[in-house]
Amino acid sequence: MNDMTANVGAQERSDSIYFAPLLPWQQMLWSQLTQRVLTQQSLPHALLAAGMQGMGKRAFVWRLVAWLLCREHDTNPLGACGACESCQWLKSGTHPSLQVLPIVSMPINADSDTLQEKPSSAKDKKSAKTTSNSALKIKVDDIRALQPFIYQGGQGMRICVLDHAEQMTVAAANALLKTLEEPQAQVHLFLISDTPAQLLPTIKSRVQQLALQTIEPAVAIDYVTHALGHTINREAVGKMAIEQLIQLANGAPLAAIALAQAPWYGKRSLWLTTWQALRSGKRSSVAASDYWQKQLSIKEFIQLSERMLLDIKRICLGLSELQTDINLSEALASYQPTDSGLETFATSLQQTKVALQQNVQEKFAYDKLMQELACL
């Protein structure tokens, strides 16, 4: 085992994730799993936390990992003690019984940051811009490098966490299969995936999936209301507004909170006004571009536009809009864009994202998008 790489992933994580409060919809699963350990029944050798972002699956895994490793967990059934030698090791990112892949553990995008699904440090945020998905690939050598750790024997629990498990290459997945087929005493594997459909079926059939996907609507509403209570203005915290946020986030509470806090979310009406002014010729695309450059970064404007486009499409298809707090139907009553117009604008948004990765200037990208928006 290369000691230099052994705990880089762990060092990249902030310690708070190990000791954060348990999310309310995870309480039952938490007690089921911890009770099994406390009553000397073994946990499944390999567990998979799968599902879309914003459900708190990573929060659950890191919390459970900390608790399993905690020396005092018998007397602290609700979470790692935070004080024992093991907890100290986690805090310093040097736990000898924890291995994490991929080795460079950084947020893929702003989402994984704001969703608090992945622990991160200021350093991560700075470098996140230059990190692409390819940096997350889990290669066969990474899996092979885990073998000595897994097979070393000895006392005490050892844990491997494979985040973004769908990023395993086929060779890596095949190497992992062998490990999954030969469970070692005291060794636990945790796989985490936002897109489990991309995992090999042979892998999925050998891991036990954690029941983290179901959240009672009332529990989600309660949680989001409470979380947003202190952070956004009062009128926006109405029940309707909360329900809308959760719906837009496909039922994922942490994603709903991130959405409410996104700079663009409060500018949806403004987008509509700009679009109408551009279309009617009351405003030039240059003026609109200048104005929006002071409102949002181009990336945020693209997110906003994508959200608006989704609802505009729904209305054009004769469905009701998901966002009921802005007058979208009214705005579309007298004019509806064509299918091809919608496609063209969606394509422009995609192309702009690509152009931005190639360092195209924000102003230039904004100018172009406003011209496109005027033609929608």
Q: What are the residues binding Zn ion (CB under 5 A)?
A: 70, 72, 80-81, 84, 87
Smallest distance, Zn ion to C-beta of residue 156, A = 13
List Cβ<8 Å contacts ≥24 apart for 197-202: 198/166, 199/48, 199/50, 199/165, 199/166, 199/168, 199/173, 200/170, 200/173, 202/173, 202/177
Q: Are 257 and 332 in contact (CB under 8 A)?
A: no
Nearest to 312 by CA among 322, 299, 301, 298: 322
C-beta of 20: minimal distance to Zn ion in Å? 15
> 167, 137 in Cβ contact below 8 A?
yes
296, 304 Cβ separation under 8 angstroms: yes
The CB-of-161 to Zn ion minimum distance in angstroms stands at: 18
Indicate the residue among 33 and 252 with the shorter CB distance to Zn ion.
33
In this structure, the number of other CB atoms found within 10 A of the CB of residue 104 comes to 15
Residue 46 or residue 90: which is nearer to Zn ion going by CB? 90
Q: How far is the CB of 345 from Zn ion (least distance, A)?
A: 53
Nearer of residues 68 and 100 to Zn ion, judged by Cβ: 68
Tell me how far, at minimum, the Cβ of 116 lies from Zn ion, in Å: 22
> Minimum CB separation from Zn ion for residue 94, in Å?
15
Nearer to Zn ion, 186 or 284 (CB): 186
Output 84 or 177, the one with its CB closest to Zn ion: 84
Per the CB < 8 A criterion, the answer to whether 287 and 278 are in contact is no
The residue among 69 and 168 lying less far from Zn ion, judged by its C-beta, is: 69
The least distance separating Zn ion from the CB of residue 13, rounded to whole angstroms, comes to: 16
CB of 77 to Zn ion, least distance (A): 12
Record the tokens describing residue 269, joined without a space: 């009406």
**Closer CB to Zn ion, 65 or 187, in the complex:** 65
> C-beta of 19: minimal distance to Zn ion in Å?
9
Helix axes 27-38, 57-69, angle to 10 degrees: 20
> Which residues are paired to 189 by β-bridges?
46, 160
The interaxial angle of helices 170-181 and 140-151, nearest 10 deg, is: 20
